[in-house]
Structure 1
Amino acid sequence: MKNTLLFSGMLASALALPGYAGSLSNGSWQPSGCGTVPEAPTVSGDGIDSYNKSIAAINTWQQKSRDYFECLIKEANTDNTIIAEHANQAQAKYRQTVEKIGAEADAAKKKLDKE
């Protein structure tokens, strides 16, 4: 019964989340589907027209940055969930193995004590 519940939980998790979101390389995590970080524009004080254009560029940059960082957070949260679930499943499997070995050792000891 426990194995059925564990398998059902793993299956539900696998269907709910993609296999991974970002990538980890040399200790640096990067989102995989967010594109690149938008480069910040500079404010121009060379005249009213150039100033207005730079403000428009800043507004565009802010929206693109907001979209990028929302994507980054979503991917990071997805990866965190996958990692935590994997670690929890590995710990549960380890505990089951320890319990099984303990029960086998107890049964063998009881059998030997009767001899």
Structure 2
Amino acid sequence: MTKNTFRFLTLALAAPLYVNAGTLANGKWSLADCGNKPEVPAINQTNVEAFNQSVAKINAWQQQAKVYYECLVKEANADNSVIADTANAAQAEYRSTVESIGQQAEAAKKKLEKK
């Protein structure tokens, strides 16, 4: 087993161990484990008390949104890593296969030239 083939098999077996991140379908990426995006509260200008309540809701929203967007970035980075690792492993496997075929063809050529 060549070094590149071993690397490909290692990555292929390790890929399911990655955290379940987002899903890409029809050109749209969606999150898997971050929950729903928090709704942005409106500022209520009716009176001072209503305004103060809306500011409190905005403060709470900011905390929820921070958690949501941090999760989004984490999932995106995990997906990017899996995609890059998979593509790199596939390219390494291709190069290894081409090299192996070339060596086999060269060996066969030398064998046939001796006949």
TM-score (norm 2): 0.87
Letter in 1 for 2:11: M
Spell out structure 1 runs of 4+ moving beyond 6 A: none
> What is the CA deviation profile of residues 26-62 of structure 1, one whole-angstrom value per residue up to 9, with x for unaligned ones?
2110111001111111111111100000000100111
- Alpha-carbon distance in structure 1 between the residues aligned to 2:60 and 2:107: 70
How high is the sequence identity, in percent, across the aligned residues? 49
Report the aligned-residue RMSD. 2.2
SS of residue matched to 1:33 = coil
- Alpha-carbon distance in structure 2 between the residues aligned to 1:55 and 1:8: 54
Change (3 A) 1:87 1:8: closer
The answer to whether the Cα contact below 8 Å between 2:8 and 2:93 also exists between their aligned partners in 1 is no
Report which structure shows greater RCO (CA 8 Å, sep ≥6): 2
Match of 1:60 in 2: 60
Q: Which runs of 5+ in 2 are unaligned?
A: none
- Alpha-carbon distance in structure 1 between the residues aligned to 2:72 and 2:83: 16
> What is the CA deviation profile of residues 1-20 of structure 1, one whole-angstrom value per residue up to 9, with x for unaligned ones?
626852685278448622x3
Match of 2:18 in 1: 17
TM-score (norm 1): 0.87
The answer to whether the Cα contact below 8 Å between 2:34 and 2:72 also exists between their aligned partners in 1 is yes
What is the count of residue pairs matched by the alignment?
114
Match of 1:2 in 2: 3
Match of 2:109 in 1: 109
Q: CA deviation at 1:72?
A: 0.5
Letter in 2 for 1:10: L
- Alpha-carbon distance in structure 2 between the residues aligned to 1:63 and 1:13: 34
Q: Which runs of 5+ in 1 are unaligned?
A: none
Letter in 2 for 1:87: A
